[in-house]
Each structure stands twice: as structure tokens, then as C-alpha cells.
Amino acid sequence: VSGEQAIGDGKDPLSAEHLRSIIGFALGGALIIYVASVVQVWGDWPRVAAIAVVCVTAMMFNWGVTASLIPRVGVERAEDLRIIPNIIAMVGTGIATHWSVIALLFLPFSAALVHGLHTRRPTIRLAVTIGSTAIVAFVDGADPLLLAGMLGLTAFWHVVAIGKIDFARSILSERQRNLTELATAHKELIAAQQHSIANEKLASIGMLASGIAHEINNPMSFITANVKALLQDLRDEPLLSKVMAEYRADVIPSTMDGIRRVNAIVDDLRRFARGEPETAVPFDLATELNAAVRIARSQLRSGQVLHADFKQPSPALCGMPRQISQVALNLIVNAIQASPDDGEVFVSAGSSNGEAVFRVRDNGSGIAPDVLERLFTPFVTTKAAGMGTGLGLAVAHGMVKAHGGRIVVSSDVGAGTMFEVFLPASLA
Ligand SMILES: Nc1ncnc2c1ncn2[C@@H]1O[C@H](COP(=O)(O)OP(=O)(O)O)[C@@H](O)[C@H]1O
Ligand SMILES: [Mg+2]
């Protein structure tokens, strides 16, 4: 089959295999016409013998060309050669039967069977076969009316055969398309399943964390209250020994700082673990981003700096606040991981054309174009096994999309990366 009409993945679904099976049928059909011709001239032995010789020779030629030439020279060349024995056979049988109806049946017969009629080369082959046979028939005194009728029938068959071939081809290519779609869907399903397994794991870690946070929170509340009271009492005391004065000025305030940090961490852990509210709620972007920044600080290597700037106002939002801080956390942790030991990561928020936007920018490694293309696909990671799951951005993308927002990435290899998350302002 010629490549002119390649379909789908570039391979015509009607193959050489198919051609071979057609030719098997063709030989059977031709045999019937030969037998009918022999019956017609029965008794006129030279003619019977001529038809028999033509029949056997043509059959052998057809079969030989198909079986041995196709593998060697390809379908097209083999088909070009195959018309020669067929023209000789048609002309031979026609002369032997004085161009009877039976012999002329070869014309429509070959039109119905020639393979690949919808492309140019097979159509030329058919025209040469039919044309040359018809000319010889006319010159040799065939009944012109009969000949014209048979040529008409041939043209009709030709159209029918093209229709059938195209129909088969369209069904086959549609099936190929369906199969590809099915394979894609299957792959997505597997990814989604692994994704939910990973989510499940995150959820149980979250539950554990919230349990621990809860346990820490109780003692921390009275530690906080007591230390606060102690500091207050020391401040109210006019006469203090030198040691106690140092406690009041230095030790207790820095202890309070430490306590506030522990409380903030416990708070953040609890808010992350608490799970989402059932319905969308109004929330403040800066508050969620701050929580993410505080948690992300634990990932900084010494020398790395994380800058957060939430001074610019951003529109009121409505949605799942935990998801938004999760998105920010994923982006910030990625930025930290991509940054050098003296790298800086900038997190900022603001508004853009009525939408809320937050940006996470780093001066780290940047993202290679081939990774950039598939960045939000699950399991795309450049990190060593155990270091990255390749789920962070896929999850972030899903969550932002659920909020009607979008993530825009710009990255320069070697210079750094910026992720921008746009979130539509709440209508409420
Ligand atoms: N800020 C960034 N700088 C450079 N590469 C990044 C950045 N953020 C993400 N990437 C690239 O995208 C990949 C996918 O990120 P992610 O989905 O979070 O999965 P993971 O962090 O588990 O690898 C990372 O492995 C990394 O190659
Ligand atoms: Mg990540």
C-alpha cells in the first residue's frame, strides 16, 4: 500500500497481509470464469487447451508474484508486475471465446479486486489493465455494445470497491484511535491510583502530626501562661537581686520567644492536619502563606534565606485555605531544594487584574525544557529516589485548578525559577 494516504500513526491499517488474502479470493473467482469459458467452448479442443494453458500460467504467475515478490520488492512493484500476466490472460481467454460475456466478466472482476484503488498508482494499474484489454477486444471484433456495457459495469464496481476500502480503512483507523485513547486512560487511571495512595499516606502522617500537636498544645498552654505570669511578676518586683534582674531582662524574654515559636509551630501543624472545611470558606491569603513560610523554614539549609513580603493587599478569597497553604508549601520547598547553599527564595503576594496572586521565586538551578513540558504530570521528578515523589506540583496544580486559578511558570536554566499562582477573587 502506498504511503500517500497514511492514516493515524502513519501506517495504513490495510496491510500487505490483507492484500494476500484478497488475492486468494481473486484466484478462486478467476478460476470460476476460466471454467465457465471452457464449458462455453467445450468440444473445440484447441480453444479448450488454449484457455487451460492461459489459466494455469496466469494463476501461477499471480501466485508467484504475490508470494515471492512482495517480500523482496514491496507491494507496489509486485502489483505493477502482476498486471502483465493478467492482461495476457484476459486477452487470451477473450480471443479463445470470441469475447463472450463470460470472458468479458474479467473486466469488472479485476476492478472489484485491485487493491488500494483510492490512490493514484493502483488506479493507473487498473486503467492500463482494463484499457489495453478493451482496445484489443474492440480491434479483435468484440460486440461494441457488450464491451461498452462491461466497461460501464467495471466503472460501477470500481466506485463500489473504493467505497468499501475506504469504509474498512476508516473503521480500522477509528479502532486504532480508540485503542490509543484506552491506553492513555489506563495510564491516567494508574497514575491517579498511585496518587491517591500517596495522598492516603500524607493523610495518615497528617493525623499523626495533629495528634502530637494536640498533646504538645495542652502542656504548652500552661507553660505559656506560667512563664508569662512569672515575667509579669518579676517586672512588678521593684527590688531584685542581680541574678533575678538578669532573668527578668534576658532569660525569661528569650524563653518567651522560644515558647512563642513552639506555639506557632504547633498551631501550624494543627491547621495543616485539621483537614479542609466541607464547603468553601472566606480566607486571607497572607495568613495561609505565612503558615506555609513558617513550616518551610525548617527546610532551609544554613546560608539560605527565605524572604516573605505580604505587605501588598490582595483581594478577598473564598475556598479551601489549607489547600492554598499546601500549594505554597510545595512551591517554597521546591524552591529551597533547587537553590544553592547561599540561595535566596522570595515569597510575595499581591493582586493582578482583580485576581489574587502569589509568587515564589528562587535563584536556583532552573528547570530544563524537557522537565518544564511535563512539570505538572504526576511522578515527574529529577530528584533521587526517596528525595522526591514528583507529586508536589501535580497536587498543587489540581488544587489551584479546583479554585478556578492557574499556575504560571517561568524558568531560566542556571538562573532561577518563578512560580506565579493566580486565584480569582471570591464573588461572595
Ligand atoms: N523551583 C524549582 N526550581 C527548579 N526545579 C524545580 C522547581 N520546582 C520544581 N522543579 C522541578 O520539578 C520537579 C517536580 O516537582 P514536584 O512535582 O514538586 O516533585 P518533587 O519535588 O517530588 O520532585 C522537580 O523534581 C524539579 O526537577
Ligand atoms: Mg516537590
The string of pLDDT tens digits covering residues 347-377 is 999 999 999 999 999 999 999 999 999 999 8
As a whole number of Å, the CA-based R_g of the chain is 41
Listed in sequence order, the residues at least 6 apart from 43 whose beta carbon sits closer than 8 Å to its beta carbon are: none
Residue bearing cell 506557632 = 264
- Atom index in ligand 1 nearest the CA of residue 330 equals 18
Going by CA atoms, what residue is nearest to atom 21 of ligand 1?
388
d(CA 163, CA 352): 57
Q: Which triple of cell numbers denotes residue 96?
A: 479463445
Going by CA atoms, what residue is nearest to atom 27 of ligand 1?
382
Cα angle 69-72-78, degrees, rounded to a multiple of 5: 35
Report pLDDT for 10: 43
Tell me which residue of 62, 81, 89, 95 sits closest to 125, measured CA to CA.
Answer: 81
Report pLDDT for 9: 39
- Distances from the Cα of 204 to the Cα of 197, 200, 217, 239, 391, angstroms: 11, 6, 20, 53, 17
Listed in sequence order, the residues at least 6 apart from 426 whose beta carbon sits closer than 8 Å to its beta carbon are: 280, 282, 315, 316, 317, 318, 319
In 237-346, which ranges are continuous DSSP H helix? Answer: 242-246, 252-273, 285-296, 321-338
Report pLDDT for 1: 32
339 lines ligand 1 (CB under 6 A): no
**DSSP letter (8 states) at residue 119:** S
pLDDT of 149 strictly over 90: yes
The model's pLDDT over 213-263, given as tens digits with 9 standing for 90+, comes to 888 988 999 999 999 999 999 999 888 899 999 999 999 999 999 998 888
323 lines ligand 1 (CB under 6 A): no
206 lines ligand 1 (CB under 6 A): no
Going by CA atoms, what residue is nearest to atom 9 of ligand 1?
334
375 lines ligand 1 (CB under 6 A): yes
CB 341 within 8 A of CB 394: no
- Distances from the Cα of 48 to the Cα of 35, 44, 87, 95, 140, angstroms: 10, 6, 19, 12, 19
Report pLDDT for 8: 35
Report pLDDT for 323: 87
Distance (Å) from CA 390 to ligand 2 centroid: 6
Ligand number nearest CA of 411 is: 1
367 lines ligand 1 (CB under 6 A): yes
Q: Please give the order of strands across the beta sheet that includes 305-309.
A: 305-309, 344-352, 355-362, 416-423, 406-412
